[in-house]
């Protein structure tokens, strides 16, 4: 038998046809598969190199580096890129292929730095011999810019109303709920009937003291600690970027009180600021609807005017304990017109109002037309007749402040719903969906709004808001 008849029979046989088709298609399939593997491998290297380029660009624009020369910043960026690129496999770092440009634009009172990073390399293709491309070329680039820090005055406005006496964790809420009321109450009535399951000490201590005695952290405790920590954060950042940050601290309930006047957050002042913020304590009630005797009492004498007196005996205020509109009015009158925050002659600091609240107003109004909801009931005491109003934040007060060029940052400590409570269902529940929306609208931008649920870290959230309000942060532009 010769080879030719055998080949003829092979080609004529069905199995022979299959073998031939497979042989003809196998090579292209192998080339395609190999190309896909090489493409994916090059993509991973490119992603890693982009990250290295981003890190290098940002390294030249950190707050400490903004105080250095262009040459020093370029060296820092080069070192950062080289260190990261050397760790990336399938490519060999070549300093000759790295181009970094650092340019400083100096203007009166400020300096803007622009940084560009470009790097080119080659990645070997494992299957390149099959399709005639032994290497893949990769080019990555990153661009960042930053401006020297501006001087800023920060005004803290902290919610110190009874609703902030909610436990800060779910475990704490559960522990207080076991007494019959989730909220700790700071009052002279030591036998409050709201506590259907009498807690240890009921009749001799209020539930606020009970919470403290049992290590139950309240939201007001966390807000206090967060505000104290913020003073240290401001001092640390100020010392590194050369800006001047000043801080004032106020709290509000049925009135607004200054805890700390505006001072620079220097190392010498931080302990003073923290000590003054530490004094923040929820207002003492006599019992439900009544302020304790000898309290400082602020009541409205007009739509936006108020008078403050010291009470004699217990005074009815109908539990209207959260007058944020009054606080906005006072702070708007206190904060000066903002400047640009540069060191140019005649310039003044920028102004930022930082609000921490659960977003529900429960206030005494002079007029029944001042309430944005229909939850508006009248009551009177020896100082006049008033209207108790429950509503979400009135954004018009925020707008009046923002229209002056003052930025507002908002930390929303989520209002705790109590669906088992008839008063909640008849009042707050009717506008609960508006609480966060109004606070978002109050903030100057989405970046300056933060929400913390029960159990969330208020200290971290407030520090994050502060960092976002400070204009020193460099940003990637490409």
Residues 86 and 156 in one domain: no
Token readout for 101 is 């440009």
Residue 272 in domain: yes
User: Which value, in Å, is the radius of gyration of the alpha carbons in the chain?
Assistant: 33
Residues 257 and 112 in one domain: no
Residues 128 and 162 in one domain: no
Place of tokens 């088709």: 21
pLDDT for 360 equals 97
pLDDT for 473 equals 43
Distance CA 303, CA 76 (A): 58
pLDDT for 132 equals 54
**pLDDT in tens for each of the 478 residues of the chain?**
555 565 555 555 555 455 555 555 555 655 555 545 656 777 888 889 999 999 999 999 987 888 789 999 999 999 999 999 998 887 889 999 999 999 998 765 567 899 999 999 988 877 545 555 778 899 999 999 988 878 999 999 999 999 999 999 999 999 998 888 888 889 998 887 777 888 888 889 999 999 999 999 999 999 999 999 999 999 999 988 788 999 999 999 999 999 999 999 999 999 999 999 999 999 999 988 999 999 999 999 999 999 999 999 999 999 999 999 999 999 999 999 999 887 778 889 999 999 999 999 999 999 999 999 999 999 999 999 999 999 999 999 999 999 999 999 999 999 988 887 888 999 999 999 999 999 999 999 998 999 999 888 999 999 999 988 885 445 566 6
Residue 400 in domain: yes
Residues 389 and 431 in one domain: yes
Looking at 117, 147, 177, the residue that finishes a domain is 147
Residues 315 and 453 in one domain: yes
Residue 224 in domain: yes
Stated pTM of the model:
0.72
Q: Give the chain's domain count.
A: 2
Distance CA 161, CA 281 (A): 9
- Domain, as residue range, for 286: 152-166+218-472
Distance CA 409, CA 469 (A): 7
Residues 49 and 160 in one domain: no
Residues 140 and 156 in one domain: no
Residue 17 in domain: yes
Write the CATH number for 230: 3.40.50.410
Looking at 118, 147, 176, the residue that finishes a domain is 147
Looking at 87, 116, 147, the residue that finishes a domain is 147
Residues 280 and 333 in one domain: yes
pLDDT for 478 equals 64
Q: Rounded to the nearest 5°, which phi and psi values hold at 297?
A: -120, 125
Residues 162 and 76 in one domain: no
Residue 374 in domain: yes
Residue 196 in domain: no
What is the 3 state secondary structure string of 99-152? Answer: EEEEEEEEECCEEEEEEEEEEEEEEECCCHHHHCCCEEEEEEEEEEEEECCCCE
pLDDT for 37 equals 60
Q: Are 34 and 126 within 8 A, CB to CB?
A: yes
Residue 24 in domain: yes
Residues 278 and 347 in one domain: yes
pLDDT for 150 equals 86
Residues 333 and 309 in one domain: yes
Q: How, if at all, do strands 475-476 and 135-147 pair?
A: antiparallel
Q: How, if at all, do strands 350-357 and 152-159 pair?
A: parallel
Residues 66 and 156 in one domain: no
Residue 275 in domain: yes
Q: Categorise residue 343: left if φ over 0, alpha if ψ from -120 to 50, beta otherwise.
A: alpha
């Amino acid at each position: 038998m010769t080879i030719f008849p055998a080949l003829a029979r092979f080609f004529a046989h069905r199995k022979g046809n299959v073998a031939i088709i497979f042989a003809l298609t196998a090579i292209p399939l192998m080339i395609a598969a190999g190309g896909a593997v090489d493409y994916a491998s090059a993509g991973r290297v490119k992603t890693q190199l982009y990250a290295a380029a981003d890190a290098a660009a940002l390294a030249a624009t950190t707050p400490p580096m903004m105080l250095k020369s262009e040459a020093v910043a370029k060296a820092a960026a080069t070192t950062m890129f080289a260190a990261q690129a050397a760790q990336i496999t399938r490519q060999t770092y070549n300093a000759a292929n790295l181009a970094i440009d650092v340019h400083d634009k100096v203007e009166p009172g400020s300096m803007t730095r622009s940084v560009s990073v470009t790097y080119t390399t080659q990645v070997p293709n494992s299957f390149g011999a099959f399709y005639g491309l032994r290497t893949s070329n990769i080019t990555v680039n990153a661009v960042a810019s930053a401006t020297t820090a501006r001087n800023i005055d920060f005004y803290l406005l902290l919610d110190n109303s009874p609703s902030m006496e909610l436990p800060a964790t779910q475990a704490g809420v559960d522990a207080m709920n076991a007494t019959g009321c989730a909220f700790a109450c700071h009052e002279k009535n030591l036998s409050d009937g709201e506590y259907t399951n009498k807690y240890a000490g009921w009749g001799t201590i209020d539930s606020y003291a009970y919470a403290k005695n049992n290590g139950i952290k309240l939201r007001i405790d966390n807000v206090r600690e967060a505000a104290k920590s913020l003073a240290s954060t401001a001092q640390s950042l100020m010392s590194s970027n050369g800006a001047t940050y000043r801080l004032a601290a106020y709290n509000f309930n049925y009135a607004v009180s200054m805890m700390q006047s505006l001072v620079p957050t220097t190392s010498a002042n931080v302990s003073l600021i923290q000590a003054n913020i530490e004094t923040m304590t929820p207002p003492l009630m006599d019992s439900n609807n009544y302020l304790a005797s000898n309290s400082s009492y602020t009541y409205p004498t007009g739509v936006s005017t108020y008078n403050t007196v010291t009470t004699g005996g217990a005074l009815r205020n109908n539990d209207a304990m959260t007058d944020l509109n009054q606080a906005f009015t006072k702070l708007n009158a206190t904060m000066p017109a903002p400047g640009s925050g540069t060191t140019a002659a005649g310039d003044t600091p920028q102004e930022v109002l930082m609000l921490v609240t659960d977003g529900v107003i429960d206030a005494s109004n002079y007029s029944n037309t001042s309430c944005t909801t229909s939850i508006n009931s009248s009551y009177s005491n020896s100082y006049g007749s008033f209207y108790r109003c429950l509503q979400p934040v009135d954004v018009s007060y925020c707008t009046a402040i923002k229209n002056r060029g003052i930025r507002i940052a908002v930390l929303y400590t989520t209002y705790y719903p109590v669906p088992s409570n008839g008063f909640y269902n008849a009042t707050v529940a009717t506008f609960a969906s508006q609480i966060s929306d109004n606070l978002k609208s109050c903030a100057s931008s989405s970046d300056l709004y933060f929400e913390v649920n029960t159990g969330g870290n208020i200290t971290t959230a407030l520090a994050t808001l502060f960092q976002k309000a400070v204009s020193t942060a460099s940003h990637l532009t490409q």
